[in-house]
Amino acid sequence: MPPHLSALRTPVVLATAALSIWLLSWMQPVLVPVALAILLTFILSPLITLMQRWGSPRIPAVIVVVILTFALIGSIGWLVARQVTALVDSFPQYEQNLRAKIVAIRADQGGFVDRIQRIAEGITRDLEKAETGSANTRRGTEPIPVTVVSESSPFQLSGLWSAFGPVLQPLSIVGLSIVLLIFMLIRREDLRDRVLSLVGHGRLTLTTKALDEAAERISRYLLMQLIVNGSYGAAVGAGLYVIGVPYAALWGFFAAVLRYIPYLGPWLAALFPLALSVLVSESWSAPLMVLGLFLFLELVSNMLIEPWLYGRGVGVSETATLVMIAFWTWLWGPIGLLLATPLTVCLAVVGKHVPALGFLDALLGDRPALSPAIGFYQRLVARDEDEAADIAEAHFERHSLVETFDALLVPALTTAKREALSAALSTEEQQHLVGATREIAEDLTIRRNSKGGSTRDAGPAGADGLAGPAGLAGAGGLAGPAGKVEAAAAHRIRVLAIAARDDSDQAALTMLAAALEERGFGEDRVELHLSPPTALVSEVLARVDELSPAIACIAALPPGGGAQAKLLCLRLRARYPDMKIVVGRWGWEGDTDRIRAQLLDAGASEFGTSLAETCGQLASLRSHGVAQAADDTIAEPS
């Protein structure tokens, strides 16, 4: 988008959203029947498909299913209306129990309830006196209002509409929904093909996947919720019948219906039988049992039945579901409450498959808003090391140590370097992030050793102050507990690990040592020495003369560090032609072939973009004869 138009993006988006909401409200009489018909189509399509498999033609199957469905709905509505009428007629016989409970509450005349009542009565008397005085004052000064009565015909159309309009509107919605439902069920494939042709053949695959996913999610949601809510309502009705609450079946039906409102619905359904139990019972035992019944059923339903039936759910987050329920209820009333979840699922599916509407999937979907790598880095930037460690440990529970390093910790180091170069992070913030990442890596290494039954401890700090895992040596010698190094007897490959540029490279080499140990190349098979990032090239060459390593492993995390890595390769290759040089540009996301060719031309033997790849290269070099004792370079016997 051009710079002069970018400032208009936010107002345009807000104006579009406001216009869309206004259109949804204005077109409610048309959109509500269409949405109801689509919802019922999802519910009834499996039944019609089943009848067709039994040999019934499409049109008779549709007519039979629709008639039976609305006959069932009408029968249930008629029974509920009769039960409600009977309940209202029976209220006077419970009046005595209610008075007895009120007398019991007011038994203590000097109690809290009595004092509150006296205060309320006093305030009411004062308000009545004030209103009477102001009315008398106005009566003497204000003119007496005169009511004008107009003679009109007893058959005035406005009066008829005011009387029958509230009844005709719901009937028209129901009638239009039934007609649309019948035609959608009969012409279901034709409607699907028209939608596909509308979006064009170039998006045929994308649209087909979106339609199938929306249908699968909505159908699964409706079926599972029907099972859960129906079972819940049956259990409520049976429990209330055992307790002795009248009209238990009616309360069970309301519990099943109101449970379509997440979280709030069950407790709204509990209010009615709870209030009735107070009326019919002479003690408080029945209300307490009713409350206990709803608590027990909610716990069983939320913790056992719903996770088992719903599985991964319908792909919409719980918070988004509640917000969208409030939105659609505000927009379309009770019908919006019924349609809220299916409409939200459709919006989430559209956001998943249409890139321009991807924000809908981010806002409504149940997938994590941030990937584990971004979430881990974000917590480090916020200096919340505990939560960052929790993310790393959760990843480590499902993956290996080196996979966790490559997926979370190395990307955090490279991102910190990139943001430090762009001045988004200060030098102090980058150093803090590198130190926190190194500590988390060491904690994960100890955790792996404990889980794997290893008796090796993390090695002591070398001369550079870096405490690394077992097998990692500082400038002063080998790491690991005393007595474990048997230089004369063990055949090991000696590796000099060189941090090309900064502390990030050094922290990555700590992870390399832990990754090698996880893969079975501990201190008894790989002798790893560390050259700090502050060392000059001449100091690195002197270190090579001192140790005579078989392999030099150079760590240069991007961005930057490439020039130092190539310089080290050139100097090492010129002075030690037979040495194996492995370069790790861990976390590299650019042109891999180009950077590999540059490093190989500079003298590198191997090049890796991940810790796992570098570990495999070191293992391959060792298995092909590059081996070393503690003091002399020798070929390992095959």
Measure Cα distances from 493 to 179, 273, 529 in Å.
80, 78, 11
The confidence score (pLDDT) of residue 482 equals 38
pLDDT at 516 over 70: yes
pLDDT at 87 over 60: yes
The confidence score (pLDDT) of residue 476 equals 36
Segment of 90-94, 435-439, 615-619 carrying the highest mean pLDDT: 435-439
The confidence score (pLDDT) of residue 534 equals 80
Residues 97 and 225 sit within 8 Å (Cβ to Cβ) = no
Q: Which residues contact 19 (CB under 8 A, 6 or more apart)?
A: none
Mean pLDDT, range 267-276, rounded to an integer: 85
User: Which one-letter amino acid corresponds to residue 257?
Assistant: V
Where residue 361 falls among pLDDT bands split at 50, 70, 90? confident
Structural domains of the chain, ranges and CATH numbers in brackets: 18-88+170-186 (no CATH), 189-314 (no CATH), 325-364 (no CATH), 391-480+487-634 (3.40.50.2300)
| Distance (Å, whole) CA 449 – CA 47 | 57
The confidence score (pLDDT) of residue 303 equals 72
pLDDT digits (tens, 9 = 90+) for 309-334: 655 555 677 777 778 888 888 888 87
pLDDT at 430 over 70: yes
Mean pLDDT, range 560-564, rounded to an integer: 87
| Distance (Å, whole) CA 158 – CA 167 | 15
The confidence score (pLDDT) of residue 183 equals 87
The confidence score (pLDDT) of residue 97 equals 66
Where residue 583 falls among pLDDT bands split at 50, 70, 90? very high
- Residue 592: closest CA among 613, 617, 619, 577: 613
- Relative to beta strand 606-608, strand 627-628 is unpaired
Residues 415 and 377 sit within 8 Å (Cβ to Cβ) = yes
User: Which one-letter amino acid corresponds to residue 502?
Assistant: D
The confidence score (pLDDT) of residue 572 equals 92
The confidence score (pLDDT) of residue 610 equals 92
| pTM of the model as a whole | 0.57
Residue 559 phi/psi, 5° resolution? Answer: -80, 160
Q: Which two tokens stand for residue 564?
A: 């130092």
User: Which one-letter amino acid corresponds to residue 103?
Assistant: V
| Distance (Å, whole) CA 243 – CA 270 | 14
Where residue 486 falls among pLDDT bands split at 50, 70, 90? very low
Q: Which two tokens stand for residue 637?
A: 């016997």
Residue 229 phi/psi, 5° resolution? Answer: -70, -35
The confidence score (pLDDT) of residue 250 equals 87
pLDDT at 12 over 50: yes
Mean pLDDT, range 365-389, rounded to an integer: 84
pLDDT at 456 over 60: no
Residue pointed to by tokens 């507990």 = 481
How large is the angle between the packed helices 503-518 and 410-421, nearest 10 degrees?
170
In total, the chain counts a number of residues equal to: 638
Q: Which two tokens stand for residue 422?
A: 């762009």
pLDDT at 530 over 60: yes
Mean pLDDT, range 302-310, rounded to an integer: 67
Residues 552 and 498 sit within 8 Å (Cβ to Cβ) = yes
pLDDT at 604 over 80: yes
The confidence score (pLDDT) of residue 569 equals 93
pLDDT digits (tens, 9 = 90+) for 170-222: 777 778 888 888 888 888 777 777 777 776 666 777 777 777 777 777 777 77
Lowest pLDDT segment from 102-116, 241-255, 375-389:
102-116
pLDDT at 269 over 90: no
pLDDT at 636 over 50: no
pLDDT at 162 over 80: no
- Relative to beta strand 627-628, strand 633-634 is antiparallel
The confidence score (pLDDT) of residue 439 equals 93
pLDDT at 4 over 60: no
Q: Which two tokens stand for residue 281?
A: 């019972």
The confidence score (pLDDT) of residue 480 equals 39
The confidence score (pLDDT) of residue 488 equals 35
Measure Cα distances from 322 to 318, 329, 341, 467, 491 in Å.
6, 11, 9, 49, 65
- Arithmetic mean of pLDDT over the chain: 77
